[in-house]
């Protein structure tokens, strides 16, 4: 399979992600410029972390109007796999490919640290290499990661099993302190209803090699491989 | 024509920045301050539009771009015709 990583002005985790996909996961990975109109045959499009357009207006708000996002939207609507990491998650929310929105973190601080998240649904194409209840140690780095959706939407996504990851303590318990940014229902990652689009605030590419302090992020990429190649 | 568009978080959405400003005002002794909501202001110059046309265009751009309707509401006014 082939990955494609979209580069916006202000993306800064694009090459980390390309490195993880090419060198660690070992699959061809195209770098996709946001002004192009071509996904170059990617089976999975990754929107990386960073600060697209300097986070002007709202995180992810301007990137959603980039030319390539039209192709990404059509690709997703046809069932193509799209993964948004951190700022990529924010872009997917602004695009309306995922439900809800991001608010400032509850303590108004930029958070750059390792967190632990629990796999809530191991039946998705982004988590099938993990198991339900598994605790992953993956870093976050964001200002606007406080997930919000209205009560009816929250009920829907919970009922449909769209919540993929929740912030938890190292033992897997859901506590207020573990929910570092104040997200509703401690949501750290979720899919669309169809299950082909996922957004997550933690950075799996930053937890993909032992030298980085954790390899837990590989679960996400290896799940995608399994989903596409088997 | 110049219009001013105000974007603020819906009352149903927690506004931690507004709360922090309120707490700071309380610390300074401004006890009459009950609540603070923080938002954004856009001043937009429009040309060649009637008031009716502006009344259609402004909510459209506010909804589509300036605000995220999931969490924010907008109001607007004409500053100069």
Nearest Cα of chain B lies from the Cα of A148 at a distance, in angstroms, of 8
Residue A17 CA neighbour count, 13 Å, CB half: 31
How many structural domains comprise chain A?
Answer: 1
pLDDT, mean of residues A181-203: 98
Q: Angle CA(A220)–CA(A225)–CA(A228) in degrees, nearest 5?
A: 125
| Residue A59 CB burial class (10 angstroms; 0-12, 13-18, ≥19) | buried
ipTM of the complex: 0.84
Residue B48 CA neighbour count, 13 Å, CB half: 0
Nearest Cα of chain B lies from the Cα of A165 at a distance, in angstroms, of 22
A108 with B20: Cβ contact below 8 A = yes
Domain span at residue A65 reads: 3-229
Distance CA B40, CA B17 (A): 12
Tell me which chain A residues have a C-beta less than 8 angstroms from the C-beta of B38: none
Cβ-nearest to B71 among A65, A101, A182: A101
Three-state SS sequence of A76-142: HHCCCEEEEECHHHHHHHHHCCCCCEEECCCCCCCEEEEEEEEECCCCCCCCCCCCCCCEEEEEEEE
Count CB atoms within 10 A of the CB of residue A95. Answer: 21
What is the DSSP secondary-structure string of A48-82? --B-GGGG-SSTTTTGGGSHHHHHHHHHHHTT-EE
Q: What is the pLDDT of residues A117-174, one digit of tens each?
A: 999 999 999 999 999 999 999 999 999 999 999 999 999 999 999 999 999 999 999 9
What CATH number corresponds to the domain at position A108? Answer: 3.40.50.880
Is the predicted pLDDT of residue A103 greater than 80, yes or no? yes
A94 with B68: Cβ contact below 8 A = yes
Low-confidence winner among A79-93, A186-200, A213-227, B3-17 (lowest mean pLDDT): B3-17
Q: Which residues of chain B have pLDDT under 50?
A: none
- The pLDDT value recorded for residue B16 is 86
Cβ-nearest to B17 among A61, A108, A150: A108
Is the predicted pLDDT of residue A230 greater than 90, yes or no? no
A150 with B16: Cβ contact below 8 A = no
Q: Is B27 at the interface with chain A, CB within 8 A?
A: no
Distance CA B64, CA A147 (A): 20
What is the DSSP secondary-structure string of B6-63? EEEE-TTS--HHHHHHHHHHHHTT-TT------EEEEEEE--S--HHHHHHHHHHHII
Instruction: Please state, rounded to an integer, the average pLDDT across all residues of chain A.
Output: 97
Closest residue, chain A, to B18 (C-alpha): A108
Domain B2-80 falls under CATH 1.10.10.60: no
Distance CA A82, CA A195 (A): 10
In percent, how much of chain A has pLDDT > 70?
Answer: 100
Low-confidence winner among A24-28, A53-57, A183-187, B66-70 (lowest mean pLDDT): A53-57
- The pLDDT value recorded for residue A183 is 97
Residue B4, Ramachandran bin (φ over 0: left; ψ between -120 and 50: alpha; else beta): beta
pTM over cut 0.90: yes
How far lies A115's CA from each of A204, B63, B64, in Å?
Answer: 11, 35, 34
Nearest to A15 by CA among A119, A23, A70, A112: A23
Position A109 confidence tier, pLDDT thresholds 50, 70, 90:
very high
Cβ-nearest to A104 among B17, B66, B68: B17
């Amino acid at each position: 399979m082939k990955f494609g990583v979209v580069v916006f002005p202000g993306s800064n985790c694009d090459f980390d992600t390309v490195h993880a996909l090419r060198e660690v996961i070992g699959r061809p990975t195209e770098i996709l410029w946001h002004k192009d109109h071509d996904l170059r045959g990617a089976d999975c499009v990754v929107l990386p972390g960073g600060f697209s357009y300097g986070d002007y207006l709202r995180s992810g708000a301007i990137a959603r109007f980039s030319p390539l996002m039209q192709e990404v939207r059509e690709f997703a609507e046809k069932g193509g796999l799209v993964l948004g990491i951190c700022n990529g998650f924010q872009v997917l929310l602004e695009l309306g490919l995922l439900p809800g929105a991001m608010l400032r973190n509850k303590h108004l601080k930029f958070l750059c640290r390792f967190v632990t998240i629990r796999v809530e649904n191991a039946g998705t194409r982004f988590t099938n290499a993990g198991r339900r209840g598994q605790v992953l140690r993956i870093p976050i780095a964001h200002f606007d990661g406080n997930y919000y959706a209205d009560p009816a939407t929250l009920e829907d996504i919970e009922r449909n099993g769209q919540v993929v990851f929740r912030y938890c303590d190292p033992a897997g318990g859901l506590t207020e302190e573990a929910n570092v940014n104040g997200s509703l229902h401690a949501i750290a990652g979720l899919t669309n209803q169809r299950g082909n689009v996922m957004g997550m605030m933690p950075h799996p590419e930053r937890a993909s090699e032992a030298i980085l302090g954790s390899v837990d992020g590989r679960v996400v990429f290896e799940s995608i491989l399994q989903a596409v190649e088997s | 024509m110049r219009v001013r568009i105000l974007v603020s978080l819906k009352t149903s959405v927690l506004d931690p920045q507004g709360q922090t400003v309120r707490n700071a005002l309380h610390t300074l002794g401004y006890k009459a301050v009950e609540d603070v909501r923080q938002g954004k202001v856009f001043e937009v110059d429009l040309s060649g539009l009637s008031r009716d046309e502006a009344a259609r265009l402004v909510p459209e751009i506010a909804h589509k771009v300036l605000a995220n309707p999931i969490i924010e509401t907008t109001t607007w006014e004409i500053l100069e015709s």
